[in-house]
Amino acid sequence: MELTDALRTTGAVRAFADEPVADATLHAILDTARFAPSGGNRQPWRVAIVRDLDTRREMASLMRTVWEEYVGANATGVTAFAFGRSIDAPPIAAPNPLLDAIDTIPVVLAVAADLRSIAMMDGNLDRPPVTGGASIYPFCWSILLAAREHGLGGVLTTFLSRAEPTIAPRLALPDDHALVATIFLGRPVHQNTKLRREPVNSFATIDRFDGDSFDA
């Protein structure tokens, strides 16, 4: 599909048809995504295609605990797990279609990054570093865009990263690697193409972050 259309209409998909994704299709998606940019072109990504149901169920169990923490914290009116915030709020049980149906999701990918190959330009600042994501998340986004080209949809979640030490042995996460994302893919039950996003002048300013709003 045309690039601008793909960029403007690729929303998160969390409900999938009961239809398998062929290995050739998944290979083609990853073959396209591998051209994503990364710092120094080091391509620090590793991908585990998780098919074992016991592994999927352990992933779902761990993510469900984090999900309930997330829902409980959000109920207080603040962003859960935001930098520097510790929300002392009870977890709230809530349905999550991805986790509740993880056995039947056509494709479950665990994405890891080799931290030895990523330059953390903000690693010495007095806050959690974030710039390392520039070398891995373009690859994750490329997976979702490439999937769209094949009529598939998906969503990226980082819930499992909060439980990385627990799931690492099951996934055989290599030393010096971080679990950066779990990606779910399949044929969408519904592909939402009318996305709601803030206009450019709400986030773009001239010269400084407190400058005049940028309008064409």
pLDDT tens sequence across 25-75 = 999 999 999 999 999 999 999 999 999 999 999 999 999 999 999 999 889
16 secondary structure, DSSP code? B
- Cα–Cα distance between 147 and 208 in angstroms, integer? 37
86 pLDDT tier (thresholds 50, 70, 90):
low
- Contact between 61 and 102 (Cβ < 8 Å): no
Q: Which of these, 54, 70, 68, 41, lies nearest to 139 by C-alpha position?
A: 41
Q: What is the pLDDT of residue 79?
A: 84
Average pLDDT, the chain: 94
Q: Give this prediction's pTM.
A: 0.94
* Alpha-carbon distance values, 52 to 45, 55, 98, 106, 206 (Å): 21, 5, 16, 12, 51
- Cα–Cα distance between 166 and 168 in angstroms, integer? 6
190 pLDDT tier (thresholds 50, 70, 90):
confident
Q: Is residue 188 predicted with pLDDT exceeding 70?
A: yes
- Cα–Cα distance between 205 and 149 in angstroms, integer? 33
Q: What is the pLDDT of residue 84?
A: 62
Q: What is the pLDDT of residue 85?
A: 66
* Alpha-carbon distance values, 207 to 19, 140, 191, 201, 204 (Å): 50, 31, 38, 14, 10
